[in-house]
Amino acid sequence: MTTDRTARWARQAAWPLCGLTLLLTAAAIWLAVLNGAPASDLSHHLLVVASAVVGGLVAAHRPGNPVGWLALTSGLCFALQEACGQYAAHGVVVDPGSLPFAAALAWPQNWLWIPGNAAIALIPAFFPDGRLLSPRWRPVIWTVVALTALAVVTNAVRPGDNEQIYPVSAPNPLGVTGWQPLADTTGTLAILASAVFLFAAGGTVVWQARKARGARRQQVKWLGYAVGLSVLVVAGRLVVGLTDGHPGLFPYENAVWDFAGGASVSLVLVALGIAILKHQLFDIDLLISRTAVFVTLSACVGGAYVLVVGLLGAGFDTSASLPVSFAGAAVAALIFAPLRHWLQRRVNILVYGERDDPYAVLARLGQRLEQTQDSSAVLSTSTATVREALQLSYVEIQTVDGRSYRLGSPPADPVRIPLVAGEPVGDLLLGPRSGEVSLGDRELRLLADLARHIGVAVQAVRALDRAQSLAADLQRSREHLVVAREEERRRLRRDLHDGLGPTLAGLTMRAEVAQEIGPGEQANRMLEEIVVDARTAVADVRRLVDGLRPPALDTMGLAGALRSHIAAWPAAGPRVVFEAPEALPALPAATEVAAYRIAVEALNNARKHARADTVEVRLTITGQQLRLDVHDDGRGRQPGQPDGVGMHSMRERADELGGECTVTSAPGTGTRVTAILPTTTEETDGPDPGAAG
């Protein structure tokens, strides 16, 4: 509870402190203008404003992070110092006696800059999550704080004017004669300690982030980006300051460069705030790339201009400076145009991929797909090509048959582009580039073109898979046919060899014995035995023939054979209702056998297992299909009950002819067997493949 209350108070205090700092800054600027300060002397107020705003945001949203409070402290110290110093300068020096308490307010201006600098220097030690870099930094921090406190005490009684207030300043009303050397020494030590701590802590942050990943790495990138820009601006100011003909390192009274310096330092604080609050954190990669292009182009153009002007100026007198400058600008422009185009193209490829050259992407996709032999590699090749072409964070291809291939981590709401090749075949799922929140119109147009080609490739893969599956099914069907044929041949051979063969051999031997005996009672008995055995042999032959094909089909047709089978049912069985057209068309022999066997098996199941009262058998002809329905009103099958041998046999007979057989059943609703078989088959010449050889 105490922690929540403290956090609430901290949030409530953050914005008032920020507002107070901004008001003091506005007052300081107004007073500085009244005191005659040039515009270049106001550039440091950018840092004060940045400290106030960033500190207020971080303190309000992350009250437990010291970075926000340190930034607020620094901004408030500098704003109060400037406001008090300018107020005192106006009331004491510019217009004496015009402002009350002006002399007394000259005192805070002498020492507030010291804690302001120290607060800024301590920020890297708590970046980015508010935790100290390491416990070993505590003694160093206390050393900086102690030196800062010592410098504050000594500078609070430093005599004379504060040189940091421009353009004029008032003397310290509490100054003590003789303390200036000590105050200067302690102030220098405090500033030196703050600077060393700032660079050491910043370097430690970068060093610890070498192996960081994800958000932590992006946070450090923001800090590095801002510091890099500041270094570039400082380098530019040094170059201009050393070449402007005035003493000093930086440009003399140059408002543009002064404000550039203030803005660059302020950018460091803004980057700290973005990194800590994680606002648009991953935009940094795109921002760094674009900044690199701008800096490189500017350096190239400036270098080309200086080089051309220098070369041309060496051959002309100083009176021709305008023509020389014009010629230098023209040559620099001529050099810059192709360089800009080349560099911009390279950076666009680095940042955006090849969205500006859709033909190259389409051609590469086509070439890679042509070289892909394995159907499973089509998805991976297409996915890799799309991601490589546009530098996307996530690409996935999903097909309607459940196959997929992905690259990258999926975003919360990926862009979905349908893959169509005459019919929907899948989807292309995409995530924007790192640092972007959506895909642009140019990317979407290119992706739509790629999706059409990928859809065709996916459809080809599906067709190839289906063809391979059908080929495998055909091969398995052929193997089953061969196995069934050989099993049937073996059964026939066994029946002929073990049954009919010995019977016929015995008949032959007894007939020869009866012939040798001659007429008589013994011969007559042997002839009677021969007749009995011959009838048995005939019955065996008929049994073998019936096993090959029910003879009733040849004499009565399919409908008649089923009626004959139903008529032979036991009286105790369920009542059978049979319906069939008056005249069935000529059916292939295989269709007749399959329909007869399926119907008989279904009737047997109904009689043995269903406990049905009535069984309906119906034959219908629809187009080129024969439909067989066998429906009973029995108890039905229990859920999860496995199929028996008869069920598998019925389905296999239908599948062998290219038809289908379905069995639907539920407790209390009975069982329905539906077989759909072709009424036409392709006849082949030659010997019967099922004949024994």
What mean pLDDT comes out for the span 443-452?
A: 77
Q: DSSP assignment, residue 128? A: T
Q: Tell whether the model's pLDDT for residue 490 goes beyond 80.
A: no
Query: Which fold would CATH assign to domain 358-483?
Result: Beta-Lactamase (3.30.450)
What mean pLDDT comes out for the span 508-517?
A: 70
Instruction: Tokens for 474, please give them.
Output: 């055909």
- Residue ranges matching CATH 3.30.565.10 in the chain: 556-678
pLDDT, tens only, 269-317: 777 777 777 655 445 455 555 555 555 655 565 555 555 555 555 544 4
What mean pLDDT comes out for the span 159-170?
A: 82
For the chain, give the percent of residues with pLDDT over 90. Answer: 5
Quickly count: other Cβ atoms within 10 Å of residue 164's Cβ: 15
Confidence label for 320 from pLDDT (cuts 50, 70 and 90):
very low
Confidence (pTM): 0.50
pLDDT, tens only, 95-143: 888 888 888 988 998 899 899 888 988 888 887 778 887 888 888 889 9
Q: What is the pLDDT of residue 303?
A: 58
Q: What is the pLDDT of residue 80?
A: 92
CATH of domain 485-547: 1.20.5
Classify 456 in phi/psi space as left (phi over 0), alpha (psi -120 to 50) or beta: alpha
Q: Tell whether the model's pLDDT for residue 542 goes beyond 60.
A: yes
User: Could you tell me how many residues make up the chain?
Assistant: 693
What mean pLDDT comes out for the span 448-463?
A: 76
Q: What is the pLDDT of residue 149?
A: 93
What mean pLDDT comes out for the span 30-48?
A: 83
Classify 557 in phi/psi space as left (phi over 0), alpha (psi -120 to 50) or beta: left
Q: List residues bridging with 417 in a β-sheet.
A: 428
For every residue of 522-573, DSSP letters joined together read HHHHHHHHHHHHHHHHHHHHHHHHHHHS-HHHHHHHHHHHHHHHHHTS-TTS
Q: What is the pLDDT of residue 267?
A: 76
Q: What is the pLDDT of residue 135?
A: 84
Q: What is the pLDDT of residue 146?
A: 92
- CA 377 to CA 533: how far, in whole Å? 70
- CA 678 to CA 659: how far, in whole Å? 6
Confidence label for 684 from pLDDT (cuts 50, 70 and 90):
very low
Among the residue ranges 240-244, 345-349, 446-450, 670-674, the one predicted with the least confidence is 345-349
Q: What is the pLDDT of residue 322?
A: 52
- CA-based max dimension of the chain: 172
Q: What is the pLDDT of residue 629?
A: 92
- CA 314 to CA 185: how far, in whole Å? 50
What mean pLDDT comes out for the span 410-416?
A: 80
Q: What is the pLDDT of residue 531?
A: 75
> Is residue 382 helix, strand or coil?
helix
Residues in Cβ contact with 153 at an 8 Å cutoff, skipping those fewer than 6 apart: none
Quickly count: other Cβ atoms within 10 Å of residue 494's Cβ: 10
Cis before 128 (ω within 30): yes
pLDDT, tens only, 44-55: 888 888 888 888
> How far, in Å, are 140, 239, 383, 388 from residue 408 at the CA level?
44, 45, 10, 12
- Residue ranges matching CATH 1.20.5 in the chain: 485-547
Distance of CA 447 to the CA centre of its chain: 16
Classify 518 in phi/psi space as left (phi over 0), alpha (psi -120 to 50) or beta: left
Most confident of 148-162, 568-582, 677-691: 148-162
pLDDT, tens only, 364-386: 666 666 666 565 667 777 777 77
pLDDT, tens only, 553-596: 778 888 888 888 888 777 777 888 899 888 888 888 888 888 88
Q: Tell whether the model's pLDDT for residue 670 goes beyond 90.
A: no
Query: Which fold would CATH assign to domain 556-678?
Result: Heat Shock Protein 90 (3.30.565)
Contact 435, 287 (CB under 8 A): yes
Nearest Cα residue to 189 out of 152, 162, 160 = 152
- Residue ranges matching CATH 3.30.450.40 in the chain: 358-483
Average pLDDT, the chain: 75
Instruction: Tokens for 692, please give them.
Output: 């024994």
For the chain, give the percent of residues with pLDDT over 70. Answer: 66
